Structure 1
Amino acid sequence: MTDTENAPRGTAAPTGPDVTPALLIERAEAMVPGLVARQQETERRTYYAEDTHRAFQEAGFYRIAVPKRYGGYELGFDTFLQVAMTLSRACPSTGWMFCLGAAHSLFAASMFDEKAQAEIFSGGDFIAPLVNAPHGTARRAEDGGWILDGVWKYCSGAPYATHLIGNTVIAGEDADPPRRLLFIAPREEWEMLDDWGGQLGLKGSGSHSIRISGGHIPGHFGIEVDFEEISVTEGTPGRALHTHPQYGGAPASSMALEGAHIAVGMCQGALDAYTELMFSRTTIVPPFPPRAEDPDFLLWYGKASGMIAAAETLALAASRRWQELAALPVGAFTAEEDLRIALTCREATNLAWQAVDEILQPTAGSPAVREGTRLERVWRDLSTGRTHASSAILLTTAANRGFAQLRLLSARR
């Protein structure tokens, strides 16, 4: 069987009221068998195939969170996250690459002004890796724009990206600490480097580096702000510009939601693989019944299933809370609420990981975790995903301290 015979089948994306959340999720679910079958191919290439990209375009996945005024569907971010979870369940690399590229239409439509958005979304589909660590430099151009230089690493979604959202330091000043610039750079201003695929996992996630050499962007494509200090309590350009209130939601917790939904989807895929083993493999103790009839395997299966279901419930509840806060009057989405959602996402991710790492992977047996098997791949991908700086460092240190300080301040009042 050739690679293209396993290609996901998309349907030409209708516009307007014909597109519903249920329809988009149904389309994602229909692609699952093909994505599962192509995991090894995706890893070899280091990103998902061109025909998969076209299927996602035809299905409308890249327009889920794009505002209606620019030809998008402007559906709830929860719909986008459920599509990402479904794709991650099929192929972790594909889900990761899709989510961490296409999700940032929400950020761009929230944080940039009307003039910038009209240009940013002029192509309809929108894919933009977002790197919140500062790299490279920016200097003012004679026309008031910005000249960018540097290399931005871990740009998941880069192979089909239309833009890069990055952070950098403004050069040529004596400010202490140096002033930062949040920018968006169109595809024609940068090049993708061929430097991905040698990691333990997520080999097919398209997380290549991007290099900009003297790239020029207009002044309204840059915002002088530290990413970590972005607050929505005073409102956002997107909240004033668009009908849907989600464009006033906090960006830090929206990105934590991305990670949690990807992780839960991966673990659901691991459980799918383990389910097959329950029927295809026997125990090692006479009379060698199928694992599905063995008390110990039933216990392990039930416990892992419950943990992953609980993780999904946490992720979905966090997403729902995010949507609710965004819909409240400006000022309701406080820093404390932002961190509360982010920490809930961390716990969802940890719970799902424990189910795989402590139950499914050890009890599956060594033949089930040979290189290239579905369970082995999920374990590798989850292990690599957990090394992401936001998950491994920020959500386990600064986020805990920050939430505790804000919570105690509220309690003192």
Structure 2
Amino acid sequence: MTVTTNVVGSSSPLPPEPGLTPAEIIARAEAIAPTLVARQAETEQRTYYAQDTHEEFATAGFYRILVPKRYGGYEFGIDTFLRVSTALARGCPSTGWMFCLGATHALPAASLFSERAQAELFRDGDFICPATIVPSGSAERAEDGGWLLNGTWNYCSGSPYATHFMGHVPAPGADGEPPAPMLFIAPRSEFRRLDDWGGHLGLKGSGSHSVAIENGRIPAYFALPGTHMSEVDVAEGTPGRLLHGNPEYGGGSLSFMLLEVASLAVGMAQGALDAYEELMLARTTLFPPMVTRAQHPDYQFWYGEAAGMIATAEAAVLQAVRQWQELCARGPGAFTREQDLRIATICREVIRLCWHAVEGQLFPTAGSSAVRHGERIERIWRDLSTLHSHAGIGVFLSSVTTRELARARFGVK
């Protein structure tokens, strides 16, 4: 890929709150999260979080966490972004999922695209860009050298308030070669959101609608032919690393995508534990001795088992984030395919721990009244179940990644 350099004398607009710190923005998310609990039902019914929630997130600066300082963002890093996402998912899994998968793609946009493209993509500051990794639709060269796009892309989480859309399309190969995936970004004017979300088992309020493009036009610099976001080789550097002087704009894309989902899983499991704790204090046992659940050894055991699993999952994902950042800091050559896959397998175990805590300990012992439709633990069980149905989690992470790590380690092609 072509690597650009910073432009001497370029000016950087200030974000709305120049003195805002990572600790303050995380605290804002933790303060907002409890208010999302009571709105889970309406969020599911609407299929995305409310306009006033969106405005609150914008005011809090959430949509600028990963946007480069050069364009009026905060550039706080993935650790801050993922802690905000975890906090929001703890309050409402759908809201956390929709926010995270909408705002997260500021990182690949700032990493992989040219300075010219980024100046246009980030010119409004807030950046909400759902993405899909499955190539779909069609692309043709336009007369001006840009691209003409047509197609429908499914599962575009974050689409209701999107400013852009990032997708993959099979692009014509040169000299008769077969089509190859092309990564592209389309501005809001070039696509429309379909009203086709909400009928799934869980994550009903995650705004994961389909996006349709009909004769949409994008300039050539909004597309990266021959590039798939999950397979980018960053060992030789990226445009964003040099442009911004920030090593996190040169990290592994695959592992970052999976760190997102692992962080969301931890937040969901923490929310289930919160709900279970309320039951421990408020409800009594069904059989003698009639005491509160918090006083009964069986419930103490189930709570302790789940709490330990979730705490371990949280510790693992936080350490994986640190490893990701340390690899970035060591230089482009440090972030090999093997390292990318190794962090991905940590994410696999984080998700498994969260699922086992909820499915194996909390859900079956909460009681039938606590897992009726719409109850908090029931909803989280549905949401985590749906998380597992994601092809990137249920298929790629659970099997393909495992084999690919061994191949990378032993040099097997």
TM bin, normalised by shorter chain, reads: over 0.9
C-alpha deviation, 1:243, in angstroms: 2.5
- Deviation string, structure 1 residues 230-255 (Cα, Å, up to 9, x no partner): 11001000001003210000111000
Q: In structure 2, the residue corresponding to 1:164 is in which secondary structure?
A: strand
Give the one of 347, 367, 371 matched to 2:373.
371
Q: Given residue 224 of structure 1, which amino acid in structure 2 is its aligned partner?
A: P
**Cross-structure match for 2:261:** 259
Shift of the 148–279 alpha-carbon distance from structure 1 to 2, 3 Å rule, reads: same
Quote the Cα distance in structure 2 between the aligned partners of 1:55 and 1:203.
Answer: 21
C-alpha deviation, 1:171, in angstroms: 4.4
Runs of 4+ in 1 over 3 A off after TM superposition: 171-177
Q: Is the 8 A contact 1:111 1:236 kept in 2?
A: yes
Quote the Cα distance in structure 2 between the aligned partners of 1:300 and 1:34.
Answer: 27
**Structure 2 regions of 5+ residues with no counterpart?**
1-14
Matched, 1:298 2:308: no
- Deviation string, structure 1 residues 330-359 (Cα, Å, up to 9, x no partner): 211000000000110010011111000001
C-alpha deviation, 1:177, in angstroms: 3.8
**Cross-structure match for 1:94:** 95
Q: Is the 8 A contact 2:173 2:180 kept in 1?
A: no
Normalised by the length of structure 2, the TM-score is 0.94
C-alpha deviation, 1:173, in angstroms: 6.9
C-alpha deviation, 1:329, in angstroms: 1.6
**Cross-structure match for 1:341:** 343
Quote the Cα distance in structure 1 between the aligned partners of 2:63 and 2:358.
Answer: 30
**Cross-structure match for 1:133:** 134
Shift of the 405–290 alpha-carbon distance from structure 1 to 2, 3 Å rule, reads: same
Q: Is the 8 A contact 2:231 2:254 kept in 1?
A: no
Q: Is the 8 A contact 2:266 2:314 kept in 1?
A: yes
Alignment of 1:138-177 (within 5 A): 138-171=139-172, 175-177=176-178
Q: Is the 8 A contact 1:139 1:172 kept in 2?
A: no
Q: Is the 8 A contact 2:65 2:75 kept in 1?
A: yes
Quote the Cα distance in structure 2 between the aligned partners of 1:226 and 1:32.
Answer: 36
Q: Is the 8 A contact 1:139 1:146 kept in 2?
A: yes
Alignment of 1:263-412 (within 5 A): 263-409=265-411
Q: Given residue 365 of structure 1, which amino acid in structure 2 is its aligned partner?
A: G
- Deviation string, structure 1 residues 127-159 (Cα, Å, up to 9, x no partner): 101111100011000000000000000000000
Q: Given residue 198 of structure 2, which amino acid in structure 1 is its aligned partner?
A: G
Count of residue pairs brought into register by the alignment? 397
Q: Is the 8 A contact 1:151 1:212 kept in 2?
A: yes
C-alpha deviation, 1:206, in angstroms: 0.1
Quote the Cα distance in structure 1 between the aligned partners of 2:74 and 2:27.
Answer: 16
Q: Given residue 22 of structure 1, which amino acid in structure 2 is its aligned partner?
A: A
C-alpha deviation, 1:225, in angstroms: 1.9
C-alpha deviation, 1:229, in angstroms: 3.1
Which range moves more in the overlay, 264-273 or 328-337?
328-337
Quote the Cα distance in structure 2 between the aligned partners of 1:63 and 1:158.
Answer: 17
Q: Given residue 160 of structure 1, which amino acid in structure 2 is its aligned partner?
A: Y
C-alpha deviation, 1:226, in angstroms: 3.7
Q: In structure 2, the residue corresponding to 1:215 is in which secondary structure?
A: strand
**Cross-structure match for 1:3:** none
Quote the Cα distance in structure 2 between the aligned partners of 1:163 and 1:259.
Answer: 21
- Deviation string, structure 1 residues 345-403 (Cα, Å, up to 9, x no partner): 01001111100000100011100000111100000011001111111111122211110
Q: Given residue 240 of structure 2, which amino acid in structure 1 is its aligned partner?
A: G
Quote the Cα distance in structure 1 between the aligned partners of 2:176 and 2:192.
Answer: 30
- Deviation string, structure 1 residues 193-248 (Cα, Å, up to 9, x no partner): 00000111000000000000000000000001241431100100000100321000
Alignment of 1:9-24 (within 5 A): 14-16=16-18, 18-24=19-25
Quote the Cα distance in structure 1 between the aligned partners of 2:199 and 2:176.
Answer: 38
Quote the Cα distance in structure 1 between the aligned partners of 2:175 and 2:95.
Answer: 43
Shift of the 134–174 alpha-carbon distance from structure 1 to 2, 3 Å rule, reads: farther
**Structure 1 regions of 5+ residues with no counterpart?**
1-12
Q: Given residue 247 of structure 1, which amino acid in structure 2 is its aligned partner?
A: Y
Q: Given residue 400 of structure 2, which amino acid in structure 1 is its aligned partner?
A: A
Quote the Cα distance in structure 2 between the aligned partners of 1:299 and 1:20.
Answer: 39
Matched, 1:124 2:125: yes
Quote the Cα distance in structure 1 between the aligned partners of 2:53 and 2:45.
Answer: 15
Quote the Cα distance in structure 1 between the aligned partners of 2:369 and 2:399.
Answer: 38
Q: Is the 8 A contact 1:232 1:250 kept in 2?
A: yes
Quote the Cα distance in structure 2 between the aligned partners of 1:383 and 1:117.
Answer: 36
Coordinate RMSD, CA, aligned = 1.3
Percentage of identical aligned residues: 59
Normalised by the length of structure 1, the TM-score is 0.94
**Cross-structure match for 2:73:** 72
- Deviation string, structure 1 residues 165-194 (Cα, Å, up to 9, x no partner): 000012487755422211000000000000
Matched, 1:31 2:38: no
Quote the Cα distance in structure 2 between the aligned partners of 1:337 and 1:157.
Answer: 29
- Deviation string, structure 1 residues 90-123 (Cα, Å, up to 9, x no partner): 0000000000000110010000010000000011
**Cross-structure match for 1:236:** 238
